[in-house]
Amino acid sequence: MEPDRGRSNPKSHTSSVAFPSIAPEHKFRQGKEKQATHLTVPESPSSDNNCKKMWRRHHLVLLACLLALSAAAASPAKATKPPAAVSPAIAVDFVRRACRATEYPRVCESTLVPCAAAVGRSPRRLARAALVVGADRARNCSAYIRGGGAAKVGGKGKAAGAMKDCAEMARDAEGMLRQSAAEMERMGRAGTPRFAWALDNVQTWASAALTDTSTCLDSLAEAHEDRDAAAVRRRVVAVAQATSNALVLVNRLDPAQHRLL
């Protein structure tokens, strides 16, 4: 007997009903959980500590480098160490032998032998001492003229004009000689470009100071009968002699001078 087709079979109806599938929802939930896990997982405490240690080491190394560079910049160069001390007799003999090459050796000895202890056997220190002697004499000459030693400095005429010019020239000569002495302290090691540059400066400035004294003497020659002019002339001659000796000692530092000998 065939079943009634108009009546539905409970079993077949139940099996044919299409329930919604949960697979897509399950996959979506799993993907969402994976995404959330990927975004919100914090770093482990050990990883954080390792990073902090690395940064600390980096800062310590950088600080050590900066301290080393500062110490190197502050330390004096080995080339600037003072020469070894010598006995007074050897130092005096060195100064006297060097003065023999100057144009005014007696003036050289009388002014530089007292500096022998500080000079030692250093030609550079000897040349610098000679420049200081010339600068001191130029200062004394200028002070003598401006301080009333020359009564006619404020007057009129050739003598007064010559003395005014000499006062200015003596002051300029002092400035150039002191500048030369200061440059001697910054010359650096012999044979370097810095040494050659500084030596050329000193030679130029000392030569200009010597030219000033010559110009002053030419101006005073026109007032040779004036007593005040004669007193000024003696002091200018002292400046010229000391400057000439200093220039000779400076020139002896030039390696080219030794090659010509």
User: 3-class secondary structure for the chain?
Assistant: CCCCCCCCCHHHHHHHCCCCCCHHHHHHHHHHHHHHHHHHCCCCHHHHHHHHHHHHHHHHHHHHHHHHHHHHHHCCCHHHCCCCCCCHHHHHHHHHHHHCCCCCHHHHHHHHHHHHHHHCCCHHHHHHHHHHHHHHHHHHHHHHHHHHHCHHHHCCCHHHHHHHHHHHHHHHHHHHHHHHHHHHCCCCCCCCHHHHHHHHHHHHHHHHHHHHHHHHHHHHHCCCCCHHHHHHHHHHHHHHHHHHHHHHHHHCCCHHHHHHC
Flag whether pLDDT at 56 surpasses 90: no
pLDDT tens digits along 92-127: 999 999 999 999 999 999 999 999 999 999 999 999
Using the structure block, give the residue that is written with the tokens 């400095």: 153
pLDDT of residue 231: 87
Flag whether pLDDT at 211 surpasses 70: yes
pLDDT of residue 243: 98
Distances (CA, A) of 20 to 23, 29, 76, 136: 9, 16, 90, 114
Rounded Cα distance, 82 and 119, in Å: 10
Token output for 15: 């099996």
In a domain, 230, yes or no: yes
pLDDT tens digits along 219-259: 888 776 677 788 889 999 999 999 999 999 999 998 776 44
Domain of 211?
A: 123-260
More confident residue, 154 or 193: 193
In a domain, 128, yes or no: yes
Binning pLDDT at 50, 70 and 90, where does residue 91 land? very high
* 8 A C-beta contact, residue 232 and residue 145: yes
Over residues 195-209, mean pLDDT: 96
Using the structure block, give the residue that is written with the tokens 């144009």: 103
* 8 A C-beta contact, residue 170 and residue 162: no
pLDDT of residue 255: 79
pLDDT tens digits along 29-49: 444 444 444 444 444 455 555
In a domain, 145, yes or no: yes
Number of domains in the chain: 1
pLDDT of residue 261: 39
In a domain, 106, yes or no: no
In a domain, 62, yes or no: no
pLDDT of residue 157: 66
In a domain, 103, yes or no: no
Q: What CATH number is attached to the domain comprising 131?
A: 1.20.140
In a domain, 217, yes or no: yes
In a domain, 201, yes or no: yes
165-184: string of b/e by CB count within 10 Å (b at 16+)?
A: bbbebbbebbebbbbbbebb
